[in-house]
């Protein structure tokens, strides 16, 4: 899963602690998400997208060589067969 949380957080000049506090989680959770060690639940993904003022689709999407390749990132050229 491709995550852009760190990119969007830095664009908004937020610390991991500030983002964590806004979303009601620990900074360890944010660190784990940014490192790719943890995939957030739907509720946390929604909270992150609101805090970072973007869509969930923009923050999180499956990478091209994922097992679920029929659920690609919106910006990738993928045609269903």
Residue 1 has what pLDDT? 57
CATH (residue range 2-61): 1.10.260.40
Instruction: Please count the residues of the chain.
Output: 81
Task: Give the residues of the chain that fall short of pLDDT 70.
Answer: 1, 62-81
Q: What is the pTM for the complete model shown?
A: 0.75
Please report the pLDDT score of residue 3 as a whole number.
Answer: 83
């Amino acid at each position: 899963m491709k995550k852009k949380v760190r990119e969007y957080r830095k664009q908004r000049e937020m610390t991991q602690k500030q983002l964590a506090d806004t979303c009601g989680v620990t900074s360890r959770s944010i660190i784990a998400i940014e490192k790719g060690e943890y995939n957030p639940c739907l509720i946390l993904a929604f909270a992150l997208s609101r805090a970072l003022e973007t869509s969930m689709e923009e923050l999180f999407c499956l990478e091209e060589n994922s097992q679920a390749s029929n659920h690609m990132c919106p910006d990738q050229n993928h045609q269903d067969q």
